[in-house]
């Protein structure tokens, strides 16, 4: 821009930039990365300067963005600092300072890198701690979390692809149903999975997301996926997700999982998990506890039926349950229950179920 007669006027170059804001954004980010987001803030003659480390961290800056890029949610800056510290200690050996001191300095460097990227519009920081002594610390901020802006997501994808990374963009299932999302996503990569879930949730209102997730619990045949849907609902406001989970309690196939969720979120008393007059759906409660809390959770929940003698009587009825999890639950009880009588009853009930199924 230029000033003429007290007025600010755009130059031809300024007008050209205004006509291509995305291109201008990319050029600004590329320039910052070429200079080095950390080197741009460092005086190489400063007595505490370590230019070789600064150079490494500037080359590492793009890698620091991969966590927020994949997760599609805020990442604690301390996690980024930990990754950067590991990279520095893998390359350099420090003889006069210990690793703890190195980690603290790297933490400061990472904070400065993130602040430079925030000024460039790539990231946002939240929950930061301002310097207590501005005369000493200046504008530096500590702690908090880092997330990419919308422009930062697009630009990070461009930079990662240019650097030779495979960089799928989260959001492949953003227009799918909750059931399609959970079936189609790679469950082995938790970070990618959560990124896809977050991208899907951003497209919907909380109420609609909760409704679809509840529908998915009833639609999915895989218990692990159904429990994952409930876990996502557990990350939502109980005032929004709770009514949808209560809807699940009205269905015989989803009653057990729904009640477990309500109990876990303090919306029901644990005693509701066992009804002595209707034990068929208790299998689903036990299956949920086995998946989410392991063998101890399974045995503790079975104890809601009473003492070992009462548990044996209940197991004698469980083998007739229509639940698909019945065989798995009986097998687990027979293998892990510490009481021999209860474990034996489970093995016997499993044999009865298999004989009955075969007949």
Q: Provide the number of structural domains found in the chain.
A: 2
Q: CA angle, corner 320, sides to 318 and 326, nearest 5?
A: 60
Decide if 209 is inside a domain. Answer: no
In a domain, 299, yes or no: yes
First vs last C-alpha separation in the chain? 87
Length of the chain, in residues: 359
Q: State the sign of the Cα–Cα–Cα–Cα dihedral 168, 170, 171, 177.
A: positive
State the angle between helix axes of 326-336 and 308-318 in degrees (0 to 180), rounded to the nearest 10.
150
Name residues whose C-beta falls within 8 Å of residue 59's C-beta, 6 or more positions apart in sequence: none
In eight-state DSSP terms, residue 169 is P
Rounded CA gap, 169 and 148, in Å? Answer: 13
Would 179 be classed as within a structural domain? no
pTM over 0.75: no
**Could you tell me if residue 145 is inside a domain?**
yes
Q: Are residues 143 and 16 in the same domain?
A: yes
Q: What is the pLDDT along the chain (359 residues), one digit of tens a residue?
A: 899 999 999 898 888 777 777 888 889 999 999 999 999 888 877 777 788 999 999 999 999 998 888 777 889 999 999 999 999 999 999 988 899 999 999 999 999 999 999 999 999 999 887 654 444 444 567 789 999 998 898 898 889 888 887 766 666 777 889 999 888 876 666 666 777 888 888 888 999 999 999 999 999 888 888 889 999 999 899 999 999 999 999 998 899 999 999 999 999 999 999 999 888 899 999 999 998 899 999 999 999 999 999 999 999 999 999 888 899 999 999 999 999 999 999 999 999 998 887 65
The answer to whether the CB of 290 falls within 8 A of the CB of 332 is: yes
Q: Which of 162, 177, 203 is the last residue of a domain?
A: 162
Query: Left if phi > 0, otherwise alpha if psi is -120 to 50, otherwise beta: which for 131?
Result: beta
65 occurs within a structural domain: yes
Q: Whole domain around residue 48: which residue ranges?
A: 9-162
Q: From CA 347, how far away is CA 351, in angstroms rounded?
A: 6
On whether residue 295 sits in a domain, the answer given is yes
Domain boundary residue, one of 103, 131, 162: 162
């Amino acid at each position: 821009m230029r000033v003429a007669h007290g007025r600010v006027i755009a130059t031809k170059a300024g007008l050209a930039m205004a006509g291509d804001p995305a291109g201008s954004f990319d050029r600004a980010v590329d320039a910052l990365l070429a200079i080095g987001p950390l080197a741009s803030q460092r005086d190489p003659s400063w007595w505490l300067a370590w230019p070789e480390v600064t150079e490494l961290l500037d080359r590492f800056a793009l890698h620091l963005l991969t966590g927020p890029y994949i997760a599609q949610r805020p990442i604690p800056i301390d996690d980024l600092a930990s990754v950067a510290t590991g990279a520095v200690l893998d390359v350099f050996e420090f003889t006069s300072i210990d690793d703890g001191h190195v980690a603290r300095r790297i933490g400061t460097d990472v904070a400065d890198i993130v602040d430079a990227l925030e000024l460039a519009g790539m990231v946002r920081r939240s929950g930061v701690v301002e310097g207590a002594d501005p005369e000493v610390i200046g504008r530096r901020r500590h702690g908090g979390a880092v997330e990419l802006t919308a422009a930062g997501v697009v630009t990070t994808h461009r930079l990662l692809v240019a650097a030779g990374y495979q960089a799928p963009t989260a959001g492949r299932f953003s227009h799918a149903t909750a059931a399609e999302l959970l079936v189609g996503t790679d469950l082995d990569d938790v970070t990618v999975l959560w990124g896809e879930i977050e991208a899907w949730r951003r497209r919907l209102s909380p109420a609609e997301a909760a409704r679809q997730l509840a529908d998915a619990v009833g639609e999915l045949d895989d218990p692990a996926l159904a429990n994952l849907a409930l876990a996502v609902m557990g990350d939502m406001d109980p005032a929004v997700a709770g009514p949808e989970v209560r809807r699940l309690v009205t269905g015989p196939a989803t009653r057990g999982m729904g009640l477990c969720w309500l109990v876990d979120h303090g919306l029901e008393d644990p005693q509701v998990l066992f009804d002595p007059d209707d034990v068929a759906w208790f299998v689903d409660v036990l299956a949920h506890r086995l998946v989410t809390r392991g063998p101890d959770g399974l045995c503790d929940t079975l104890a809601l039926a009473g003492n070992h003698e009462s548990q044996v009587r209940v197991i004698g009825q469980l083998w007739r349950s229509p639940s698909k999890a019945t065989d798995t639950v009986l097998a687990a009880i027979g293998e892990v229950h510490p009481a021999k009588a209860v474990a034996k009853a489970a093995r016997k009930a499993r044999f009865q179920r298999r004989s009955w199924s075969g007949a």
